[in-house]
Structure 1
Amino acid sequence: MTNLPSARTGTAQLTLTSPTGEVLADQDVVIEQTRHAFELGNIGFDLIEHATGERHQEQLAADWLKLFNTATLPFYWGRFEPERGRPHTARLTAAAQWFTDHGVRLKGHPLVWHTVKAPWLDPLPTSEVEAVLRARVRRETHDFAGLVDTWDAINEVVIMPEFCNEPDGVPNAISRLAREVGRVGMVRLAFGSAREANPAARLLINDFDLSERYEQLISEILAAGVRLDAIGLQTHMHQGFRGEAQLLEVADRFARFGLPLHFTETSLVSGDLMPADVVDLNDHVVDHWPSTPQGEERQAEEIERHYRTLFAHPAVAAITYWGISDRGAWLGAPIGLLRADGSRKPAYAALDRLINQEWWLAPTTVRTDAEGRVPVTGAHGDYRVVCGPASATFTITPTPSQVRLVPVQQR
C-alpha cells in the first residue's frame, strides 16, 4: 500500500486471544483487506443479463468485480414499468441478489425524474400523477428493502419545473407536477414517500447542475426540514476533463453542508471530445464515435487524476463511473474502461493500480507482541486477520480503535 491519502487512512490496535481468553503472544498472523469503505462504484446495467442468467458474460463480470464494490441499478420508470401495473420487479430483484451475493453494495437510480418516465403517466391529471408517483416511490423502496437501501431519490430537480420536451404534444407529467408543488415540494414528496416505505433507506439528491442554483436549492431543502443523507454531483466529461482545480472547488463548495458527497456519474472519453459549444450533451448525435489510441492514453491519465483528487478529499464518500464497456455506452461515446470487444483500455489498468495496489493492503504477515497485540494501519474498510486455521474480521474507521479479537476456525 502506497500513497494512501491521510483522509482515507486509519489505525486499529488488535489484541488476539484464544477462545479460553489466553493472549496469542508471539504468533505470526496474516492481515488482509477485504473491502474499501469508500464506495467505488459503476453502473451495473451491463451485467443485468448475466446476473439473471439470460446471457453468460463471465469475463465482463470478472472485470467489473475486480475494480468496483458498489453498483447502480436502473429504475428509470419508463423502462421499469412501461405498462402500468406491470413493473419489472422480479428481474431487477434477481440482478440485485446476484450483486449482493458477490459482496457488492447497491444503489437504485432514480426514483423521481422527469426524463425516461412512464409515457402512460403524461395524460393523467396532476392530482393523479402525484398519487401514482408517491405509490411508485413507496413500492420500489419497500420491495427492494434489504437489497437496495440507497437511492437517488430525485434526479435533476433544478431543471425539473423548466423541462418542456413534449414531442407528442402532451405536457411532461413530472415537470407539470414540479411546476405546481415547486422544487422543494418535489424533494419532500420523493424523500418522504421513500422513508415511509423504508425508514432505513439512504437517500440522495442528484444533479448535473453544480452551480449556485443547486446550492441554493439544497439550502432551501434543509431549511424546510427535509433530511438529505448525501449530495449527488454528476461529472460527465464528454467535452473534456474538468481538472483538479475545478473538482476541488466543487467538492469544497458542497462540503459546506456537512453531508457526504457522492460523485455519482463520472465519464471520460477515450476518443474525440464533444464540441465545447454543445449545451445539452444529448444533442450531440454522431453515427460512429470510436475509441482511439491517443484518446485512450488521455483517458487513462485523466481518470487517475480524477480519482486521486476526489479520493483524497475528506468530504467525498463515493465515486461512480458511468459504464464498464463501450458497448451500449451512454450517447454512444467511448467512455468505457473496456473496448466494445471486451479488451481492457489503459484506463482500466490505471484504476486497477490505484484501487488494488496503491490503496489496498495486500496479505501481510506480522507477529503479535508478548501481549498478543498487533497494530494495523490501512484504508478505511473491512479486514481479516488469519492465525493458522482460524480467522476474525475487523474494521478500520476514521477513529483509531482498539479491538479484542478471538480468531475462530470456520466449519
Structure 2
Amino acid sequence: MGFLFAALAVLLATSSPVLGDGLNTRAQRNGLKYFGTEVSTAVLNDAAANAIAKRNEDFGSYTAEYEMKFAYTEPSRNSFSYSLGDRIVNQALSNGMVMRCHNLVWYQSLPTWITSGNFDNATLISIMVNHITNVVTHYKGKCYAWDVVNEAIYADGTYRGQTSASASIWYKTIGPAYIPIAFAAAAAADPAAKMYYNDYSIETPSTKANAVVNLVKMVQSYGVRIDGVGLQAHFSAGAPSQAHLVAALKAYTDLGVEVAYTELDISTPSSVPDFAQQATDYATVVGACQQVSRCVGVTVWGFTDKYTWIVGSLPDLWNTTLGKKPAYYSTLAQLGPDPAVDDCNCAEF
C-alpha cells in the first residue's frame, strides 16, 4: 500500500508538464478557440525562438507574418509560390494548431506586375479572383480562417482609394464591389474556412468602426458569406477601457459574425518601458474578448521583442532574450486558473 501511495505522489508531482499549462491551454479551457501568435521565417530559423513558437500550451494558432501575402504567393502573373507559407502551415498543423491564414487582398505587399500593370476593371477582377482561387485552394482544409480583405477603410470612414493617399489599386480600378467579389471567390474555394475582414483602429466605437459595420452589411446584402471581423489591436501602453473594447466587439457580433483580436501588441518605448501598464493592458484586452461570446480568440503579432516590427518599442510578451515579461503572466492569469492546480484538487489528498 505504501508503494501505491508513493507511486501516486510521483504521478501527481509530474502531472503539470503533461497537462501543459500555458496561454492557449487556459484560453481553450475557458471558452476561447485559441490563443495564437504571428510567426515569421525569422522565428522558424531561430531554434530558441522556434522552440517557444512550437509550444501548443501557449499557442493554438499561427498567422504568417508576410509569407502568404500576394507579393510572395504570386510574384509573377499566374506563377504561384507556396514554399514560405507551407513551412509555417506545416509546423502549425504538426503541432496540433490551427492556421489563421493572412491575407488575400490588401493594398500593400503587391508585386510590381500588379501595381504597374495598368489593368482595366474586368482584367483586375479576373486577376484577383484567380489569385484568391489558387491560393485558397492550395491551402484548402488547412486554414481555420482567411483574412480575405485587409485594411480597406480610412480613419474617416471612406474606402481606401477614394483619395490619393495610401491608395488601393483594388478600389481605384474596381470600386467597392471588389470586396464582396473577393469574399465570394474565397468562400467558393474553401467552404469550410471562416472568411474575415481585418483592420486596425476599429477596436473601439469610432467613425472607422462604424464604416466596418457598414462594410459587413454591404457584403451580406449581396448574399455573400462573411464570417468574422478581425480587430488588429495595435495599441500603446494605456490602452482603451474594457467597456469601449467590448462595445465595439458587440457592434460586430450583433451582425451575426464572430470576432477575434488578430494582431495584438501593446507598445512601450524601449528607452523608458512601462511594463506594469503593458501588463495591465494585455489583461484588459484579453478580458474584453472573454466578455463577448462570439469572440473566438486572441493572436499576438509576434511573441518576442527580439523580432518586433515596431522600431524603438518592446511590445510583446517575451523579451529580446526570450524571457517571459510581466505581460505574459498578467495575460495567463486573465485567461484562467492553472489547469494543473485546478485539476489536482490537492486538498483532497
| Structure-1-length-normalised TM-score | 0.67
Equivalence map 1:4-403=2 (5 Å) = 35-36=28-29, 38-46=32-40, 48-49=41-42, 51=44, 54-57=45-48, 60-61=51-52, 65-73=56-64, 74=66, 75-124=68-117, 125-126=119-120, 127-158=122-153, 159-162=159-162, 164-165=164-165, 175-183=168-176, 185-210=177-202, 211-238=209-236, 240-271=238-269, 290=270, 292=272, 294-332=273-311, 333-355=313-335, 357=337, 362-364=342-344
Pair 1:240–1:253, CA change in 2 (3 A): same
Query: Cα offset for 1:236?
Result: 1.3
Report if the CA contact (8 A) 1:269-1:295 is conserved.
no
The change in CA–CA distance for 1:78 and 1:325 in structure 2 (over 3 A counts) is: same
Query: Structure 1 342/190 Cα, relative in aligned 2: closer, same or farther at 3 Å?
Result: same
AA partner of residue 62 (structure 2)? A
Answer whether contact 1:42 1:71 (CA < 8 A) is retained: yes
What's the offset of the Cα at 1:259?
Answer: 1.6
Structure 1 alignment gaps of length 5 or more: 1-29, 167-171, 272-289, 367-411
2:11 matched residue in structure 1: none
How much does 1:90 deviate?
Answer: 2.2
Structure of greater relative contact order (alpha carbons < 8 Å, 6+ residues apart): 1
Query: How many percent identity over aligned positions?
Result: 19
Aligned-residue offset at 1:207: 2.0
CA-to-partner distance for each residue in 1:8-67, whole Å, 9 max, x for gaps?
A: xxxxxxxxxxxxxxxxxxxxxx9x796545133433324x3564xx44236652585432
CA distance in structure 2 between the partners assigned to 1:155 and 1:194 by the alignment: 13
CA distance in 2, matches of 1:331, 1:103: 29
- SS state of the match for residue 298, structure 2? strand
Question: If you compute each CA radius of gyration, which structure gives the higher value, 1 or 2?
Answer: 1
Which residue identity is paired with 1:343?
Answer: G
Partners in 2 of 1:337 and 1:231 — Cα distance? Answer: 24
Distance 2:335 2:127 in 1: 42
What are the ranges of 5 or more consecutive residues in structure 2 without an aligned counterpart? Answer: 1-14, 154-158, 203-208
User: Which of the two has greater helix per residue?
Assistant: 2
Equivalent residues of 2:144, 2:193 under 8 A apart: yes
**8 A Cα contact 2:107 2:170, kept in partner:** no
- Pick closer, same or farther for the CA change 1:191–1:358 going to 2, 3 Å: same
2:110, 2:341 → 1: CA distance? Answer: 43
Structure whose residues are more often strand by fraction: 1
TM-score, with structure 2 as normaliser: 0.77
Q: Contact 2:184–2:225 (CA<8 Å) still a contact in 1?
A: no
Q: Is the 8 A contact 1:97 1:147 kept in 2?
A: no
After TM superposition, the runs of 4+ consecutive aligned structure 1 residues lying more than 4 A away are: 32-37, 83-86, 358-362
Offset, 1:298: 1.1
User: What value does the CA root-mean-square deviation take over the aligned residues?
Assistant: 2.9
Contact 1:110–1:151 (CA under 8 A) maintained in structure 2: yes
Give the letter for the 2:160 counterpart.
M
Matched length? 307
Structure 2 letter corresponding to 1:155: N
For residues 319-342 of structure 1, the C-alpha deviation after alignment (integer angstroms, 9 at most, x for no partner) is 222220112322323211112222
